[in-house]
């Protein structure tokens, strides 16, 4: 019925969001001016739609009950299905009104009683999960207790009450003021602490207003949903029933995400889309791998997701059978697989995952659990626990790497965040007292064990390495003088700054090994930001230039007779892992959750195939070429019964939509 039509794509950051279409019943040929106007509108509409989604207003433009897929950020890996239980937190603290206190002393007593009640809740939940979480994760509950006992917070709330405000309003004002200090911190992990503080504040206010519901949520598989969930909220659900976690706020650094990973519960955080109230009672699929939540499932979609979850279950069973087998190719070539760690529980997981050791222990993560610089004794206890858990397997501790996107507020100078130019080894060399304390702690923890290796981050030249080695020798000499049985461990350098690639021959004369941090190397090499999701989509891995850089690193290191490993996240992708091994890397280090999949992929191929993958990768001229290769490699190394990876086949949603062409997914 239409004789004239003109359509232009609605695009935002190179992603097509839809089509802007005009039609006319009369025959008409649209001219260049018409096209220019519509193209301009399409560009503006793309930005408007993206903004509407980001602030949650998209539901006003579409029908919420039709939105099937909601995107967020992966919080904990896994795929699960259950019914949503939305936790209502009573709104924002800033919405609590100020009211005149009728009796100041009574309000102060009510404040103390509410704090005691929240402390008891945290203690009870800690006890319940004591057999399922490591000491570091359990320490998160202790951190809540520390916040509740904070003299600054209590004094601020009490002062507000003494000025005449009621207890609820006083707590809200004090907590908001306290949290704002964390809001201003650039580092994502520490910025998340503001959410924890506000969650505690809401909990206290809830007790003051008698609005805290301690009832345990019912039976069946349950997905816990909330605007900003805290680890205290998981106490509302029986552990056997909790299959997923979804939050509108927070990031992968939030405490709820850390605990979800430790418990093996799929989680998606930072979801954008319709108000979460629309999800209550609905059956949801939580895809922690892709960072997506699927709702309002059609019959075909539900069946397809059930098949995928069952496939994942069978895959895990298959992986369990090879967990303690060696990572060897079909023709007997052995590969060394390490895990990346940062919490004490990771060491226990690494052992059960069948790792050959810890290839990267991020020592800055324990530092972030303190509100001050941990002492030598406290650090030594942390390192000792990890070294003992892995003994006799090697543990590679990367010395403190802060600055840029990783900040510790108690180490910031003049209250200004440390820049990337002050990051890693540069900060440590500028603060030898901090460096020496950590070195002494690590060396002391290694006494009688001997499985410690030290890794120096962000090295760019021989001068920085020489200064670092002098401090290592100084720490050894000090401890020997104190009667500690200590020896200089193997020391390695991280290759994560492009300048270091051209220094490998010189650095190799002074160190025992190299480890490539592909996350930072990629962002510096490709002029992108690892925390910018739009940049990652556009410039991230895989990139031909990065492959060429990795190849050069291997050649330089091996020519100098030194082993080289990869400890960046790409090592955990089975397809990429096969390419890296084919290129000649001596070891790969990855998250413990993905290690069994990588091991299974290695056992399904032979060494000749690995070399062919690498040769083909180095001939790739574009990202599209690399992606096509990785898709082929993924099919070759796929585990029987495995679900699709990011390089394999179509998504579950796409597969489910096939029999029902009219079903639309957002």
Give CA separation, 80 vs 266, 305, 320, 664, in Å: 7, 9, 19, 22
Q: How many residues can be counted in the chain?
A: 666
- DSSP for 48-86, please give it: HHHHHHHTT-GGGTS-GGG--EEEEEEEE--EEEEEEEE
Tokens representing residue 421 in the block = 């130019």
Cβ neighbours of residue 609 closer than 8 Å, sequence gap 6 or more: 578, 582, 636
Q: Is the peptide bond between 534 and the residue preceding it cis, with omega within 30 degrees of 0?
A: no
Euclidean distance between CA atoms 319 and 322, whole angstroms: 5
Nearest to 371 by CA among 149, 163, 565: 149
Give CA separation, 455 vs 395, 423, 479, in Å: 10, 15, 20
- Contact by Cβ (8 Å): 205, 168: yes
Nearest to 229 by CA among 264, 262, 203, 263: 203
Euclidean distance between CA atoms 189 and 182, whole angstroms: 10
Cα 494 versus chain centre, distance: 21
Nearest to 221 by CA among 241, 240, 239: 241
Q: Which of 12, 228, 294, 567 is catalytic?
A: 567
Tokens representing residue 588 in the block = 């790969």
Residues forming a β-bridge with 43: none
Euclidean distance between CA atoms 24 and 44, whole angstroms: 23
Other beta carbons within 10 angstroms of residue 397's beta carbon come to 26
Backbone angles phi, psi at 271, to 5 degrees: -70, 145
Phi-psi region of 561 (alpha: psi -120 to 50; beta: other; left: phi over 0): left
Q: Which of 255, 294, 543, 620 is catalytic?
A: 255
Catalytic site includes residue 294: no
Tokens representing residue 601 in the block = 């992929």
Cβ neighbours of residue 46 closer than 8 Å, sequence gap 6 or more: 10, 11, 12, 17
Catalytic site includes residue 51: no
Q: Which residues participate in catalysis according to the annotation?
A: 255, 567
């Amino acid at each position: 019925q239409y004789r004239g039509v003109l359509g232009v794509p609605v695009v935002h950051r190179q992603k097509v969001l839809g089509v802007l279409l005009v039609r006319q019943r009369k025959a008409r040929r649209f001219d260049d001016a018409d096209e220019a106007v519509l193209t301009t509108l399409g560009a503006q509409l793309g930005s408007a739609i993206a903004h509407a989604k980001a602030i949650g207003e998209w539901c006003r433009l579409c029908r919420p009950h039709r939105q099937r897929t909601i995107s967020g950020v992966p919080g904990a890996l896994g795929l699960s299905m259950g019914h949503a239980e939305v936790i209502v937190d009573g709104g924002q603290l800033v919405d609590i009104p100020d009211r005149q206190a009728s009796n100041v002393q009574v309000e102060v007593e009510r404040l103390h009683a509410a704090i005691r009640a929240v402390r008891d809740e945290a203690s009870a939940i800690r006890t319940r999960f004591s057999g399922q979480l490591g000491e570091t994760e359990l320490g998160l509950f202790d951190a809540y207790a520390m916040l509740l006992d904070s003299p600054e917070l209590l004094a601020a709330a009490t002062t507000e009450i003494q000025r005449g405000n009621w207890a609820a309003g006083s707590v809200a004002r004090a907590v908001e003021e306290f949290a704002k200090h964390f809001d201003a911190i650039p580092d994502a992990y520490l910025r998340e602490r503001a959410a924890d503080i506000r969650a505690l504040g809401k909990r206290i206010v809830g007790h003051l207003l008698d609005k805290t519901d301690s009832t345990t949520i019912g039976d069946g598989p349950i997905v816990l949903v909330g605007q900003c969930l805290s680890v205290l909220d998981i106490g509302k659900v029986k552990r056997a029933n909790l299959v997923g976690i979804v939050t509108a706020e927070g990031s992968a650094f939030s405490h709820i995400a850390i605990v979800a990973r430790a418990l093996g519960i799929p989680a998606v955080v930072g979801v954008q889309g319709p108000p979460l109230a629309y999800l209550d009672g609905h059956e949801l699929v939580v895809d922690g791998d892709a960072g997506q939540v699927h709702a309002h499932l059609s019959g075909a979609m539900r069946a397809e997701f059930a098949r995928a979850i069952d496939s994942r279950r069978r895959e895990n069973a298959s992986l369990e059978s090879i967990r303690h087998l060696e990572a060897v190719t079909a023709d007997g070539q052995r590969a060394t697989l390490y895990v990346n760690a940062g919490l004490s529980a990771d060491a226990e997981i690494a052992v059960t995952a069948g790792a050959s050791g810890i290839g990267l222990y991020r020592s800055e993560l324990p530092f972030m659990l303190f509100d001050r610089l941990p002492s030598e004794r406290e650090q030594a206890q942390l390192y000792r626990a990890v070294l003992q858990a892995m003994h006799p397997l090697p543990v590679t501790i990367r010395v403190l790497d802060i600055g840029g996107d990783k900040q510790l507020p108690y180490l910031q100078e003049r209250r200004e965040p440390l820049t990337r130019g002050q990051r890693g080894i540069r900060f440590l060399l500028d603060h030898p007292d901090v460096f020496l304390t950590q070195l002494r702690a690590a060396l002391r923890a290694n006494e009688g064990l001997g499985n410690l290796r030290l890794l120096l981050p962000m090295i760019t030249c021989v001068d920085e390495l020489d200064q670092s080695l002098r401090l290592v020798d100084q720490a050894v000499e000090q401890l020997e003088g104190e009667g500690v049985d200590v020896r200089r461990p193997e020391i390695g350098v991280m290759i994560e700054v492009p300048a270091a690639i051209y220094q490998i021959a010189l650095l190799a004369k002074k160190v025992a090994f190299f480890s490539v941090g592909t996350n930072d190397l990629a962002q510096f090499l490709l002029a992108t930001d690892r925390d910018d999701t739009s940049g990652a989509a556009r410039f991230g891995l895989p990139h031909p230039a990065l492959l060429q850089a990795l190849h050069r690193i291997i050649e330089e290191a091996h020519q100098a007779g030194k082993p080289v490993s990869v400890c960046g996240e790409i090592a955990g992708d089975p397809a990429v892992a096969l390419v890296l091994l084919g290129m000649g890397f001596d070891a790969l280090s990855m998250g413990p959750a993905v290690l069994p999949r990588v091991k299974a992929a290695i056992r399904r191929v032979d060494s000749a195939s690995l070399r062919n993958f690498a040769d083909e990768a180095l001939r790739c001229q574009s990202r599209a070429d690399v992606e096509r290769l990785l898709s082929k490699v993924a099919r070759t190394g796929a585990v029987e019964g495995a679900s699709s990876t990011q390089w394999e086949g179509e998504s579950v949603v796409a597969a489910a939509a096939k029999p029902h062409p009219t079903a639309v997914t957002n």
